[in-house]
Amino acid sequence: MERIKTLSLWSGILGFVVVALGAWTRLADAGLGCPDWPGCYGFVTIPVSPDEIDLANSKFPETPYEVAKAIPEVVHRYFAAALGFFIVCMAFIAYKYKEVPSNIKKLSYFLLAWVIMQGTFGYLTVSLKLWPQVVTTHLMSGFLTTALVWLLYFRTKDLIQERNLWNFQKSTKKLFNIAIVLVAVQIFLGAWTSTNYASYSCTDLPLCQGQLLPEANFKEGFNFFQSIGPNYLGGQLDHESRVAIHLTHRFGAVVVTLFLLFFSLHLYKRNFKTLAYGLIAFLTLQILLGISNVIFALPLLIAVGHNLGGLLLITYLGVLRLREH
The Cα 179–Cα 21 span in angstroms is 27
- Those residues whose C-beta lies under 8 Å from the C-beta of residue 13, and which sit 6 or more positions away, are none
| Alpha carbons 265 and 169: distance in angstroms, whole number | 15
Calpha distance 237→217 (Å, rounded): 10
Q: Which of 2, 73, 215, 324 is catalytic?
A: 73
> Do residues 114 and 148 lie in contact, with contact meaning Cβ atoms separated by under 8 Å?
yes
CA distances, 296 to each of 234, 239, 283, 292 (Å): 20, 21, 20, 6
Distance CA 127, CA 32 (A): 9
Counting runs of H as helices and runs of E as strands, what totals does the chain give?
A: 10, 0
From residue 24, give the alpha-carbon distance in Å to each of 31, 201, 225, 277.
9, 20, 26, 29
**CA separation for the pair 163, 94 (Å, rounded):** 21
Region of 41 please: left (phi>0), alpha (psi -120 to 50) or beta: left
Reply yes or no on whether 240 is catalytic.
Answer: no
What letter represents residue 79's amino acid? F
d(CA 294, CA 311): 20
Q: Is the peptide bond before 38 cis (omega within 30 degrees of 0)?
A: yes
| CB neighbours of residue 124 within 10 Å | 17
Q: What amino acid positions are annotated as catalytic residues?
A: 73
